[in-house]
A and B are shown apart, each in its own frame.
Chain A
């Protein structure tokens, strides 16, 4: 017998999606107020959503929030920004030149399997300030996805397009900027998006271990001070910051590559 799935109007689907989220929050409220204990996991110390909202309101009213967020944003900006510049340059060199690939790829391949978080103890020893070591962790987390995706994009450039550009009078530099860069752009942007995710992940971990200020530090501090509602507020803010920065990236990618969506762009 055929199963017929009837198409629902879009409005109703959104209502169902909203109800699903509300149901989750309601379950959370019930579980935490009744101190639900499932044996392997307990909600005894989990603050209910109402308390979390109160904590969030309190944090948003205090000047602490801006201090935490700006120091986190600055670290991501510095570490991730350096990873973008260095990663794209390394990726171009490795993808375009056999000599650069032989010279640069082996050490990178050796370092790549080491998770960025494993660098934390050494980086504290290597850098004069914990600020710099956290930026370094953010940098190293973003570097590899950016390098590898840039190499992939640059090395797989359509050689017919390169041949055509040569036939039309393009020299080495013009081929790089007019053909290789735009052809590799989608792959580079993928690397940038993955790198953005890992760099937030690394930053939060680094802040928890060695930070003063920063949203990861705030979350960990809430745990040590037993302000359990603040833990969840911190988690939510980390999620929002990650979501916002990846939205920025995809939007920038769409604006910079209008040909990828030619029905809209004209």
Chain B
């Protein structure tokens, strides 16, 4: 299947530049700085996990990348273009699925192409193709409420990827799933991204998840969120869950845990939403 436009080299799209970015949330006396002075770049095709304690502003950064939140300082660019408002170029997957309950799976997935004005026949064909790729053939005519949590997130991913986005933004997409489904979905995601290479920013607070999925982990501090370390992972692909018992994995995990250790006596913060406070 050819999801990408043939003459565009997959390696050339999806560069993210985050330069000195700060984001404030709230109004008046409730305003606070959610993230401060973030400064890093993500290469085309890279899978970067942003890891940090709850409330550190990692979802806020994702919301800004998606165009749902304005930045207060700095520069946010995708392929040299300033982020301005939401766009199908930047696909977003939320923690809880945002499928339209009144649309069947196929119509949910075909929503982006429909907005682009594609005829029903073509957009249905495109939707069925990508549904097959995420392993949901046979569920095209179901309503979202008839699917399990893992299947709903697969539809969500298909609905975003059908638009051939430059970047895929994922906000703790598997954290609401049970452990077994979560592990399966991590493998499903890597498999999908192997077939449709897309720059991915994956926000999580699960260290194992970040280590298993990412090319690189950006570790953030508590509020206001700052980058405390940028860890490049040496693990080869394709990966399987046997990886989690390898000594290098365990060593890195111990290192990241050290970075994220909360100061004695401090309370965890409330989760922030990529849509604001």
Interface set of A (CB-CB < 8 Å, partner B) = 158-161, 163-171, 174, 178-179, 182-183, 185, 257-259, 262-263, 265-266
The interface bits of chain B over 209-242 (1 if a CB of A lies within 8 angstroms of the residue's CB, else 0) are 0000000000000000000000000000000000
Assess whether B142 is in contact with A160, with CB atoms less than 8 Å apart.
no
Are the C-beta atoms of A259 and B101 separated by less than 8 Å? Answer: yes
| Given A262-B145, A262-B146, A265-B143, A166 contacting B100 (CB threshold 8 A) | no
Q: Do A168 and B275 touch (CB < 8 A)?
A: no
Chain B residues with Cβ below 8 Å from A182 are: 100, 102
Q: Given contacts A161-B100, A164-B92, A178-B100, is CB(A266)–CB(B142) below 8 Å?
A: yes
Q: Which of B226-266 contact A (CB under 8 A)?
A: none
Given A163-B98, A178-B100, the answer on whether A168 and B88 have CB atoms closer than 8 Å is: yes
Any chain A CB within 8 A of the CB of B163? yes
Residues of B within 8 A of A169 (CB): 87-88, 112, 115-116, 163
Whether A259 contacts B145 by the Cβ 8 Å rule is: yes
Residue of A163, A166, A258 with most chain B CB atoms under a 10 A cut-off: A163
A160 touches B88 (CB 8 A): no
The residues in B between 85 and 118 inclusive whose CB is less than 8 angstroms from any CB of A are 85-88, 90-92, 94, 96, 98, 100-103, 111-112, 115-116
A257 with B102, Cβ < 8 A, contacts A169-B112, A174-B115, A266-B142 known:
yes
Are the CB atoms of A168 and B146 closer together than 8 Å?
Answer: no
CB neighbours (8 Å) of A183 from chain B are: 102
Q: Contact: B115 with A160, CB < 8 Å?
A: no
Contact of A163 among B86, B103, B111, B163 (CB under 8 A): B86
B159 interfacial by beta-carbon distance below 8 Å:
yes
B66 within 8 A of A: yes
Contact B100 A163 (CB under 8 A): no
Contact check, A266 vs B111: say whether CB atoms are below 8 A apart: no
Q: How many angstroms between the C-alpha atoms of A164 and B68 in the bound complex?
A: 10
Q: How far is the CB of A266 from chain B (nearest CB, A)?
A: 6
Give the Cβ gap from A7 to chain B, nearest Cβ, in Å. 30
In the complex, the answer to whether A167 meets B100 with C-beta atoms within 8 Å is: no
Q: Is the CB of B102 within 8 A of A164?
A: no
Which A-B residue pairs are the 7 nearest by beta carbons? A169-B115, A164-B98, A166-B86, A169-B88, A182-B102, A262-B143, A167-B86
Measured CA separation A170–B90 after assembly (Å):
13
Distance A164 CA – B169 CA, assembled complex (angstroms): 12
What A residues does B189 contact at CB under 8 A?
none
Roughly how many angstroms separate A163 CA and B59 CA in the complex, as a whole number?
14
8 Å CB interface, B138-176 against A: 141-143, 145-146, 159-160, 163
Interchain CA distance A170-B115 in the complex, whole Å: 6
Q: Which residues of A contact B103 (CB under 8 A)?
A: 259
CB distance from B111 to the nearest CB of A (A): 5
- Chain B residues contacting A166 (CB-CB under 8 Å) are 68, 85-86
- Are A164 and B94 neighbours in the complex by a CB distance under 8 Å? yes
The distance in angstroms between the C-alpha atoms of A166 and B90, with both chains bound, is 11
Give Cα distance in the complex from A265 to B145, angstroms.
Answer: 12
For A263, what are the chain B residues with a Cβ–Cβ distance below 8 Å? 146
**Distance, CA A178 to CA B145, complexed state (A):** 18
A266 to B138, CA, bound (A): 12
**How far is it, in angstroms, between the C-alpha of A165 and the C-alpha of B115 when the chains are bound?**
9
- Nearest neighbor of B66 in chain A, beta-carbon distance: A167
List of B residues within 8 angstroms of A163 by Cβ: 66, 68, 86, 92, 98, 275
| Bound Cα distance A179, B100 (Å) | 8
Min distance, Cβ B66 to any Cβ of chain A, angstroms: 6
Q: Can you list 30 contacts pairing A with B, beta carbon distance less than 8 Å?
A: A160-B94, A160-B96, A160-B98, A161-B98, A163-B68, A164-B98, A165-B111, A166-B68, A166-B86, A167-B66, A167-B67, A167-B86, A167-B87, A167-B88, A167-B91, A168-B88, A168-B111, A169-B87, A169-B88, A169-B112, A169-B115, A169-B116, A169-B163, A170-B111, A171-B115, A178-B111, A179-B100, A185-B102, A262-B143, A263-B146
CB distance from A180 to the nearest CB of B (A): 11
A188 to B60, CA, bound (A): 34
**Which chain B residue has the least Cβ–Cβ distance from A168?**
B112
User: Do B142 and A168 touch across chains, with their CB atoms under 8 A apart?
Assistant: no
Closest to B63 in A: A163
Counting chain A CB atoms within 10 Å of each CB, the highest count among B91, B100, B116, B160 belongs to: B100
Interchain CA distance A159-B101 in the complex, whole Å: 14
